[in-house]
Structure 1
Amino acid sequence: MSPLVLTGAGVSIEDVVAAARNACKVEVTPLVIEKLAKARKVLDEAAAGGQQIYGLNTGLGANLGTAVAGDIGAFQRQLLDGRGAAVGEALPMQTVRAVMFARIAMLSAGGSGLSPHVFTALVEALNAGVHPVMPSLGSIGAGDLVLMTAIAHTLIGEGDADYQGRRMPSAKALMMARLAPVSLAPKDGLSLINASAVSAGTGALALVDALSAMEQQQQAGALTIEALGANRTILDPRLHIARPAACQLLAAKALRELLARDQEPAPTTIQDPLSIRCMPSIHGALIQAIDHARLAVEIELNAAADNPLVLAEDALVLSTGNFHTASLALAFETLGLAIAQCAAACAARFIQLTGSSRHGLPKYLSPVGGASAGFVPLQKTVTAILGGIRQRANPVMLDFLPVSEGVEDHATQTPLAIAKCAEMITLWRRLVALELMAAAQAVDLREGLVLAPATGVIHAAVRTHVATLKEDRPLGTSANTLYAALTDGTWQA
């Protein structure tokens, strides 16, 4: 696999996934190191000239007015120890890698003043697979510094790290990886931690998962249209040109392609329930929300989000609010609502497929009838899953308190907004699996139905993992199997 080469710009969410989930190596161009060295020089000269620089020769937060005297390099160690306040379960290894890569990408943009040797040490730790043990709770979205201290502690040989499948002291992990702990110059500690790399890294992972789930949702929706003999005129591009809202033209086009065949079947209804008839509008809104969130994440990945910021070309060091991620939090709150709306329509289609015989299908999609439960017990499962999604759709970005004696009186809760969005994607994909199961069963129960080439492949993919229901059996097991395939990459449709 080719390495990821960082130039200080152009990092994508797919790059984060390559580094986090595929363990792709990271390389940095000489220009990036030159920018870091130039910014470091400007920072040192500003400090030598007597400028008050936040986190270098002053305290942090409410201690802003406290001058740091004596060994200001040692203050960086104190700064890290004093902010090692994260608690909770450790983040998964892939998430930690996403965070490390995100911080490397952001530092590559320049402006931090971080010593080049510390930056290089971070890249080497990621490439060597030395993964800090990062507790998951502590960031309120005004920078992720409380969580990020775990990375800084590992680089200086403190705290714990995971290496080659084992948890051990960071100093031992570095030694086994043939790496040495780094020494911190003034501001290096703050430069490592005062950024929203947790938010950017986890946001990138969530978005790639959302894109995958969206494609699978389109497939499930297309198979449902086939199974119910729905009126496909809803996909006519002229309808969506007439009201070109929120990517619905794009969503309709994708559904048309999945249903394309030489001869279109005649409609069996004038119009269908809204969860079917409005599928392009619902899916289009979600596509637009994903696109917006991608833009917000990729801005962070390629931005100099440090405070204070070194403007090397102007030889200035200025305080900023660039670490504050209000737009990123809002993008993921919006994405969560769009996912919830799409999931609700998916659940409604499942009820349409399994709840009655008015579409000419056997009751409960049971081929034996009588007292057979068929698919109807799964309606409770669908409702429970949708309830979990709706709960997580509630916004959190306004849930904060003033801290640090009121100096930090606003926050964004971005990590929480992204975490609950990621949980919603997981639950939504379970609903997609259930819609695929029900639609495939309905297709099997329609005698003489000929599927379009693409929907035929989708149906075959379902049957690769889940057998047709011929008599009552535990369908929860089948749903778990299909969900796993949709999630782990074995789904081929």
Structure 2
Amino acid sequence: MSPLVLTGAGVSIEDVAAVARFADKVEVTPAVIEKLGKARKVLDEAAAGGQQIYGLNTGLGANLGTAVEGDTGAFQRQLLDGRGAAVGDALPIEKVRAAMFARIAMLAAGGSGLSPHVFSALVDLLNAGVHPVMPSLGSIGAGDLVLMTAIAQTLISEGDADYQGRRMPSAKALTMARLAPVNLAPKDGLSLINASAVSTGAGALALVDALSALEQQQQASALTMEALGANRTILDSRLHQARPAACQQAAAKALRDLLARDAEPEPTTIQDPLSIRCMPSIHGALIQAIDHARLAVEIELNAAADNPLVLADDALVLSTGNFHTASLSLAFETLGLAIAQCAAASAARFIQLTGSGRNGLPKYLSPVRGASAGFVPLQKTATAILAGIRHKANPVMLDFLPVSEGVEDHATQTPLAVAKCAEMIVLWRRLIALELMAAAQAVDLREGLTLAPATGAIHAAVRAHVPTLWEDRPLGANADALHAVLADGYWRPAVHQILLV
């Protein structure tokens, strides 16, 4: 496997997933190290010239007006000790790796003034699989510095780390990985932690998941249209050219491709319920929200968002607010609402499929009829899942209090906005699993139905994990099994091969 080479630009959300989930190695070009060295020289010269530099020769936050006397390098260790305030369960290793890689990518853009040897040590830490134990609670989105402190502490052999599947003191993990602790120069501690890398890394992973869930949702929706004999004139490209809103043309095309066949079947209705008829609009809005969130995340991944910022070419060190991620938080709040809307439509289609009988389907999708419960008990499950999604769709980015004696009187709550969005994706995928199960059952109960090649592959993929319901059985276990396949990357209907032909 080829390593991911960092040049200081062009890092994508897929790169974050490759490093965080598949342990891809990271390499850095010599030009990045040279850029870091140039910025470090500018920083040192500014400090030597007597400039007040936040976090180098001044205190932080409310202590801004306090000068740092004596050993400014030692102050960096004090700075880290004083901000080790995160609490709660440790973040999963993939999110820690995502945060580490996100911070490396940001630092590679230049502007931090971080010592090159500290940067190289952080890259080595990631490549060696030494993962700081990072508590999950403590950031309000004005930079993730309280959480990021765990990474800096491991680099200087303090705190705990996870190595080879075991939690241990960082000093032991470094020794076992044959890595040496680093010595921090002035501002190095602040440069390591004063960034929104936890939010950005987790956001990248959430977006990768949202993209795969969207593809699965499109597949489930196409199978539902087949099962109900839906009127597919709603996908006519001319309709979406007439109102080219929010990526709905792309959403309609994806559904057209999935339903494409030599002879189009006659629709059974003039107009279907809105959860079917408006799918291009609903899915298109979600595509646009994903695209916007991707832009926000990838700006952060490739930006120098440090405070203070070293402008090496201009030989300046300036204070900034670039660590503040209002646009990132807003993007994930918007994405959460778009996911909730899409999930609500999926739940509505599930109710249509499993109700009293529509378009020639038997009541509750039960082949034995009578007192059979069929799929109808899962309507409660779908409703409960949707309630969880709707609850998490409530915005949080305005929920903050002034801290640090009013110096930090605004926050973005980006980590919370990203975390609840990721949780919504998990729940949304459960609804997709339910819709796939119901649509596949409806297909099996419709006599004489011939599926399109792509929807036939989707139906076969469902049946590889969930058998047809011929008599009542506990369907919750089937729903769990199909959700696990969707979530773990083992869902591979031969759709792409069909669409490429």
Same fold (TM over 0.5): yes
Aligned twin of 1:152 = 152
Separation in 2, partners of 1:246, 1:430: 25
Partner SS, residue 391 of structure 1: helix
Tell whether the 8 Å contact from 2:228 to 2:358 is kept in structure 1 after alignment.
no
Deviation at 1:227? 0.1
2:352–2:358 CA contact under 8 A, matched in 1: no
Deviation at 1:492, TM superposition (A): 1.2
After superposition, the CA RMSD in angstroms is: 0.3
Alignment-derived partner of residue 389 in structure 1: 389
For residues 438 and 363 of structure 1, the distance between their equivalents in structure 2, rounded to whole angstroms, comes to: 12
How far did residue 352 of structure 1 move? 0.2
Alignment of 1:287-366 (within 5 A): 287-366=287-366
SS at 1:406's partner residue? coil
- Residue 425 of structure 1 corresponds to 425
Secondary structure of the equivalent of 2:126?
helix
Q: Distance in 1 between matches of 2:207 and 2:105?
A: 18
Cα distance in 1 for partners of 2:45, 2:491 equals: 57
Aligned residue in 2 for 1:168? 168
Partner of 1:404: 404
Which deviates the most, 283-292 or 350-359? 350-359
**Structure 2 residue aligned with 1:484:** 484
Q: Quick one: distance in 1 between partners of 2:145 and 2:489?
A: 34
- Give the conservation status (yes or no) of the 8 Å contact 2:286–2:335: yes
How is 1:201-350 mapped onto 2 (pairs within 5 angstroms)? 201-350=201-350
Q: For residues 245 and 491 of structure 1, what CA distance do their matches in structure 2 show? A: 30
2:498 is matched with none
How far apart are residue 267 of structure 1 and its match? 1.2
Aligned-partner residue type, residue 154 of structure 1: T
Q: Give the Cα–Cα distance (whole angstroms) in 1 for the partners of residues 304 and 72 of structure 2.
A: 24
SS at match of 1:162: strand
Structure 1 stretches of 4+ with a deviation exceeding 2 A read: none
- 3-state DSSP of counterpart to 1:136: strand
> What does the per-residue CA deviation read over 1:162-201, in whole Å, with 9 as the maximum and x for residues that have no partner?
0001110000000000000000000000000000000110
Cα pair 2:268 2:359 within 8 Å, conserved: no
Whether 1:125 aligns to 2:96 is no
Match of 1:467 in 2: 467
AA aligned opposite 1:254? A
Asked if the contact 2:104/2:119 (under 8 Å) is kept, the reply is yes
Between the aligned partners of 1:489 and 1:428, the Cα distance in structure 2 is 16
Shift of 1:240: 0.2
Aligned-partner Cα distance in 1 for 2:294–2:276: 27
**Structure 2: distance between partners of 1:269 and 1:365:** 19
Unaligned 5+ runs, structure 1 = none
Structure 2 residue aligned with 1:30: 30
Q: Are 2:454 and 1:454 aligned?
A: yes
Deviation at 1:358, TM superposition (A): 2.9
CA distance in 2, matches of 1:442, 1:194: 54
Work out the CA distance in 1 between the residues paired with 2:352 and 2:413.
38
Q: Deviations over 1:4-44 (max 9, x none)?
A: 00000000000000000000000000000000000000000
DSSP-derived class of the 1:181 partner: coil
Q: Distance in 2 between matches of 1:437 and 1:322?
A: 47
Report how far residue 357 of structure 1 moved.
Answer: 1.2
Q: TM-score under structure 1 normalisation?
A: 1.00
SS of residue in 1 equivalent to 2:405: helix
Q: Secondary structure at the match of 1:465?
A: coil
Matched, 1:55 2:74: no
Contact 2:395 2:417 in 1 (8 A): yes
2:65 is matched with 65
Taking the aligned partners of 1:490 and 1:198, their CA distance within structure 2 comes to 27
The CA deviation string for residues 276-325 of structure 1, in whole angstroms up to 9 with x for no partner, is 00000000000000000000000000000000000000000000000000
Matched to 2:138, the amino acid is G
Indicate the residue corresponding to 1:415 in structure 2: 415
- Structure-2-length-normalised TM-score: 0.98
Report how many residues are paired. Answer: 493
**Superposition pairs of residues 102-113 of structure 1, within 5 angstroms:** 102-113=102-113
